[in-house]
Amino acid sequence: MTAKISYDEVEVGTELPARSFPVNRATLVQYAGASGDFNPIHWNEKFAREVGLPDVIAHGMFTMASAVRVVTDWAGDPGAVVEYGVRFTKPVVVPNDGTGALIEVSAKVAAKLDDDERTVRVDVTAVSAGQKVLGMSRAVVRLA
């Protein structure tokens, strides 16, 4: 593991570079194929509405994968992530309008956990259409 960020240079409150990730219907079909999650709520509008959803929604695991990119791009080595957890609080609704949705991700260092292990806790915020889509979204990262 070779994180490019030094533990000593990071402070509580340090903000990671924020990113936005577009997602459209094609993104969801591609993710369904790669992940093996073919639940029709992620590609079939009729089915999604029948089970009470406003429209097709993104896979929670796609949102989780997008959100952690802010952390892995910052750390330099995705292998530096020791823990990563989220709560799926709101769906990312993906309309079939040629544009789709946007997942806006920001993150900051919330705690320096262990000076010997050089681990920090990063709190991640993911927003789509003005609503938080992840809660308790936290990663523990081992820095250089």
Q: According to CB under 8 A, which one of 21, 56, 94, 128 is a site residue for other proteins?
A: 21
Establish if 113 lies at the interface with other proteins (CB under 8 A). Answer: no
Establish if 128 lies at the interface with other proteins (CB under 8 A). Answer: no
Establish if 30 lies at the interface with other proteins (CB under 8 A). Answer: yes
Q: Closest distance between other proteins and the C-beta of residue 62, in Å?
A: 7
The phi and psi torsions of 65 (rounded to 5 degrees) equal -70, -40
Query: Which token pair is 44?
Result: 């079939």
Q: Closest distance between other proteins and the C-beta of residue 140, in Å?
A: 9
Q: According to CB under 8 A, which one of 14, 24, 45, 84 is a site residue for other proteins?
A: 84
* Nearest residue to 135 via CA among 98, 84, 95, 87: 87
Establish if 33 lies at the interface with other proteins (CB under 8 A). Answer: yes
3-state SS assignment for residue 6 = coil
Establish if 11 lies at the interface with other proteins (CB under 8 A). Answer: no
Query: Which token pair is 33?
Result: 């194929």
Task: Name, in order, each residue with C-beta under 8 angstroms of 22's C-beta and a sequence gap of 6 or more.
Answer: 100, 101, 102, 103
Q: According to CB under 8 A, which one of 45, 55, 77, 104 is a site residue for other proteins?
A: 77
Residue type, 51: V
Q: What is the CA radius of gyration of the chain?
A: 17
Task: Put residue 117 in one of left, alpha, beta given phi > 0 → left and psi -120 to 50 → alpha.
Answer: alpha
Q: According to CB under 8 A, which one of 5, 56, 64, 143 is a site residue for other proteins?
A: 64
Establish if 31 lies at the interface with other proteins (CB under 8 A). Answer: yes
Tell me the C-alpha distance between 60 and 108, whole Å. 21
* Interaction site with other proteins (CB under 8 A): 1-2, 21, 27, 30-31, 33-37, 51, 60-62, 64-66, 68-69, 72-73, 76-79, 81-88, 136
